[in-house]
Amino acid sequence: MAEDRKVVLARITGRVQGVSFRAWTRSEAEALGLSGWVRNEADGSVVALIVGTKIAVSHMVERLHVGPAGASVEQVYVEDADPGFAPRGFRITG
């Protein structure tokens, strides 16, 4: 159902690189049946495109506020996004 589909771009700041944040994000996203990608940014943040049902995307955003063990999330900025090329499954792209 297209009306149940949601696409967001999330930028996570804090201590989120060097703590397996991307691998954790992929694992959490796959468990929720989401597609999209996650990557490190040069400014030390992590950015993720998250595509799925409204409920699953909402759960993923909640999880991003906590992150994996070793992470220290300061902020999660979320905005609606155009899916563009959303891959099947969830990928680590950089």
What residues act catalytically?
Answer: 22, 40
CB 10 within 8 A of CB 64: yes
Pairing of the two strands 46-53 and 35-40:
antiparallel
Q: Distance (Å, rounded) from C-alpha 42 to C-alpha 46?
A: 9
Q: Token pair 């771009």 is at which residue?
A: 9
